[in-house]
Amino acid sequence: MGEPAERRPRQLFTPQFILLYGFIGLIAVGSVLLYLPISDAAGRDTSPVVALFTATSAVTVTGHTAVSTAQHWSYFGQAVIFVLMLVGGLGFMAAATFVLLLIGQKATSISHQLVLRETIGGDQLGDLRKIAVRIVTVVFIIYVLGAVILFPSIQEITGFGMMESMWQSLFLSVSSFNNAGFSILPEISDARSLAILDNQWVIQSAMAVLIIVGCIGWTVLVDINQRKRFSRLSLDTKLVLIGSVALWVLGFGVYLLASFLSVGNENDLSLLSRSGEAMFHSISGRTAGFIIADFGAAEDFTKLVFTFLMLIGGGSGSVAGGIKVNTLMVVVAAVVSSIRARPQTEAFGREIPQTQVFRALAIGALALAFIMITVPVLTITEAASLRSGEMHFLDLFFDTVSAFATNGSSTGIVPQLGTSGQLIFIGAMLLGRIGPLTLALALAPQEKFLYRFAQERVRIG
């Protein structure tokens, strides 16, 4: 008799697929609930595609909407959206942290394992339950604090009673921290989802802080809390902080410059008002998708820059989407090291493993490939709207990247998309949410190869 065949784990139950199954199951339940007449403010059946689109947007904390969240959905429908974005955001943050643990376990260096243990706050997989409880506890405290800060101002500008104002405050707090972009505040009939918050600096500041805390990631928060000083922070935390600040400054500068160059109704705004609006959109426009101004009327240059910012997104293990700031900073470090003729990638006196550099390049390249395929397909499905002038190519490009980056910033074209276009956006949101994390886990080194091929140089440049 021959030797028994080696048993291998079933590929359908790897962590990558389990994460996908969880998202699909949550989206399915949410879609059914949103389809019911009880979820519609008028008591009618909602279109199945709209229900699926909204559920996917909520679970992936994207914030794209095919219908008005404040006007179309009843309190029950709004509650369903609230639960979906709560579970989708918080659950993803916990899952992403565990994946980082799994990847970190592949490190053979004792120093790497010590950094992992100190940063995550647990002894690798043995303390997953403790880590999960800690994440949920801290995040719920942040939700409540955010709601308490938002409550007085929301009650003042809306005139709602106490219970309605509490619901509005809690919804906006959770949506802000989860970088979800959903709002049920009364809407003004224009393309600005949060036009009611014009010059409401207390609310904008509170939302900005919640967005920042949510988008930098749990591991970074723990590292900052434990080590206090920048010089003692891990390399990962340093790269996230420097990259985030640089992107916020870039977004702020571009938006502020565009506000001075544009010719419109906002020319009479003071420098302080312009700066406040620019800072809010720089923070929200990269990861959360809350809009006070009309991005549909923004300058083309502004749309292009913010498209790049959305694609980058937030930090690894955070509720934000995109290819992640960590990915960008690893690529930047590789470029700088190459320019300096270094034989390896270096940053802050530390060497970044080549496997991580290759992983960062793979994530960035695949994200660009997806967009380069998806946008042309959408130009075919939405050809009629593009030809008639109802929709512009740059707006379609902007919103497509926003969907893939699970950002939610929009030029207002989503309700105009046909069924095919909305289904493509659904796929983009789901893939954009779990894609980078799944790819990072799939590319994590599983084994050491005992051989290497012979080297041969290739001409570059």
Nearest to 327 by CA among 337, 317, 319: 317
User: Tokens 């309190």 correspond to what residue?
Assistant: 75
Q: Residue 227's pLDDT is what? A: 83
- 161 by DSSP, 3-state: which? coil
- The pLDDT tens digits for 113-124 are 444 443 344 444
The residues, any chain, with a CB within 8 Å of residue 397's CB and separated by 6 or more, are: 307, 375
pLDDT value of position 114: 41
| Residue ranges in 323-408 assigned as alpha helix (H) | 325-339, 354-381, 383-388, 393-404
Amino acid at residue number 352: I
Closest CA to 434 of 183, 62, 131, 173: 62
Q: Angle CA(81)–CA(178)–CA(14) in degrees, nearest 5?
A: 85
pLDDT of residue 437: 65
Spans of the chain below 50 pLDDT: 1-3, 5-6, 8-9, 105-126, 189-191, 265
> 444's torsion region: left (phi>0), alpha (psi -120 to 50) or beta?
beta
Residue 347, beta-bridge partner list: 350
* pLDDT value, residue 146: 94
- Do the beta carbons of residue 146 and residue 177 sit within 8 Å? yes
* Distance, CA of 190 to CA of 294 (rounded, Å): 8
pTM, entire model: 0.85
* Residue bearing tokens 């320019």: 339
Q: What are phi and psi of 170, to 5 degrees?
A: -65, -40
344-361 burial, b at 16+ Cβ within 10 Å, e below that, comes to ebebeeeebeeebbebbe
Question: Residue 40 in 3-state DSSP?
Answer: strand
Contact of 43 with 161, CB cutoff 8 Å: no
Dig out the tokens for 359 from the structure: 């992983």
Give the CA radius of gyration of the chain: 23
pLDDT on residue 121: 41
Instruction: Evaluate whether 239 touches 347 at the Cβ level (below 8 Å).
Output: yes
Model pLDDT, residue 193 = 55
Cβ(328)–Cβ(243) below 8 Å:
yes
pLDDT of residue 439: 66
* Start-end of H helices in 382-445: 383-388, 393-404, 419-442
> Which residues touch 347 (CB under 8 Å, ≥6 apart)?
235, 238, 239, 329, 333, 336, 337
Rounded alpha-carbon distances, angstroms, from residue 298 to 241, 290, 303, 439: 28, 15, 7, 34
CB contact at 8 A, 346 and 333: yes
Chain position carrying tokens 């929009």: 410
pLDDT for position 411: 86
State residue 110's pLDDT score: 44
